[in-house]
Chains A and B, each alone.
Chain A
Amino acid sequence: KNEVEQSPQNLTAQEGEFITINCSYSVGISALHWLQQHPGGGIVSLFMLSSGKKKHGRLIATINIQEKHSSLHITASHPRDSAVYICAVGPSMDTDKLIFGTGTRLQVFP
């Protein structure tokens, strides 16, 4: 079993829909990261969180440390949101080593 599991693996949506991507992890962590990888391959860090909730524009990330679960929400989805979203956890406070989920491929159609 992977230490970081994401669901769903693939997701299609119509423009304007509310999107939720889930991440569950089995290791103790000090921080969780959400990354976005565009079709061209580039990776962008969206959020880093260790508790609670963060919001940036139409993106919201939440984490429940007790349940070892995080969600990434996209409100009013747009075709430009089409990308692979990757959850990664930092298992230790004294290293930035990350353990990655397998990613969720999102396609938003107009």
Chain B
Amino acid sequence: DSGVTQTPKHLITATGQRVTLRCSPRSGDLSVYWYQQSLDQGLQFLIQYYNGEERAKGNILERFSAQQFPDLHSELNLSSLELGDSALYFCASSPRTPSSYNEQFFGPGTRLTVL
């Protein structure tokens, strides 16, 4: 158990809908990252938050948005869902200041299926 929790574990929805994925980082970790893992693209970095502020952005679509709240939990909002958004969405957290030297601890993931 990494200490990172994600809810829900599974989500099935229809095209055009909007969903919210939730992540609680390990106690004390200030950085939260969101990743998408689809069958054809592998793992891709979406966005990073550090202590409530957006820190780095990757291949995140405009239909997707995220935020980190004062209690450090984070939410990833996906709207106008398309079939291609079906994927595993991982959240990870790491401590201290942003740095590539930080080990990242991954949550169990949310499996999103868009029908």
Contacts and interface: CB of A to CB of B under 8 A. Distances in A.
Nearest to B9: A41
Tell me whether chain A's interface is mostly helix, strand or loop, or mixed: loop
A107 to B, nearest CB: 19
A44 B104 contact: no
B27 interface: no
Most chain B CB neighbours (cut-off 10 Å) among A33, A96, A98: A96
Chain A interface: which size bin? 20 to 34
A90 B100 contact: yes
A77 B99 CA distance: 33
Contacts, number: 75
Contact of A29 (B43, B56, B92, B100): B100
A1 to B, nearest CB: 15
Contact of B58 (A43, A44, A92, A97): A97
Chain B interface: which size bin? 20 to 34
Most chain A CB neighbours (cut-off 10 Å) among B2, B45, B90, B100: B100
Contacts of B94: 96
Contact of B56 (A35, A41, A45, A96): A96
Nearest to B111: A41
Interface string B15-49: 00000000000000001010000000011110010
10 contacts: A43-B90, A43-B106, A45-B104, A48-B103, A95-B56, A95-B99, A96-B31, A96-B33, A96-B55, A100-B45
Interface of B: 2, 31, 33, 42-45, 48, 55-56, 58, 88, 90, 92, 94, 98-106, 108-109, 111
